[in-house]
């Protein structure tokens, strides 16, 4: 299995901005999916706390993720529209997958 970069971003916004945040997040995801190195970009909204969102993103490699961060839509939509609506954002990067050891 090929390795890739997995990004898990958790964000919360105010109850007043929750729907708007979701609209902008989905617009951002659509733009990100057009990047050559973006393998997938999915957005999830919490059932119990609708002001919380999680995005799960896969990039082909570190270079693809760097290109994502340098893109015009990252600057315009991500930084320009999403960040002002967010109360908190936690972004975690993972490399993988790595094969799990087989039981003996």
Does the residue 101 lie in any domain? no
Q: How confident is the model at residue 49 (pLDDT cuts 50, 70, 90)?
A: very high
Does the residue 25 lie in any domain? yes
Does the residue 67 lie in any domain? yes
By residue range, what is the domain housing residue 28? 4-96
Does the residue 9 lie in any domain? yes
Does the residue 103 lie in any domain? no
Does the residue 102 lie in any domain? no
Does the residue 104 lie in any domain? no
Q: How confident is the model at residue 102 (pLDDT cuts 50, 70, 90)?
A: confident
For 29-58, letters b (16+ CB in 10 Å) and e give bebbeebebbeebebebeeeeebbbebebb
Mean pLDDT of 30-55: 97
Exposure of 59 in the CB half-sphere (CA atoms within 13 A): 20
CATH code assigned at 44: 3.30.70.100
The neighbour count for residue 72, using CB atoms within 10 Å, is 8
User: How many separate domains does the chain show?
Assistant: 1
């Amino acid at each position: 299995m090929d390795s890739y970069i997995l990004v898990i971003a958790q964000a919360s916004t105010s109850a007043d901005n929750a729907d708007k945040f979701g609209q902008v997040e989905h617009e951002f995801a659509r733009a990100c999916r057009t990047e050559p190195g973006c393998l997938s970009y999915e957005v999830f909204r919490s059932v119990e706390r609708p002001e919380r969102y999680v995005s799960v993103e896969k990039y082909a490699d570190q270079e693809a993720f760097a290109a994502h961060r340098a893109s015009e839509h990252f600057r315009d939509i991500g930084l320009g529209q999403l960040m002002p609506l967010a109360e908190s954002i936690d972004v975690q990067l993972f490399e993988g997958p790595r094969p799990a050891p087989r039981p003996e």
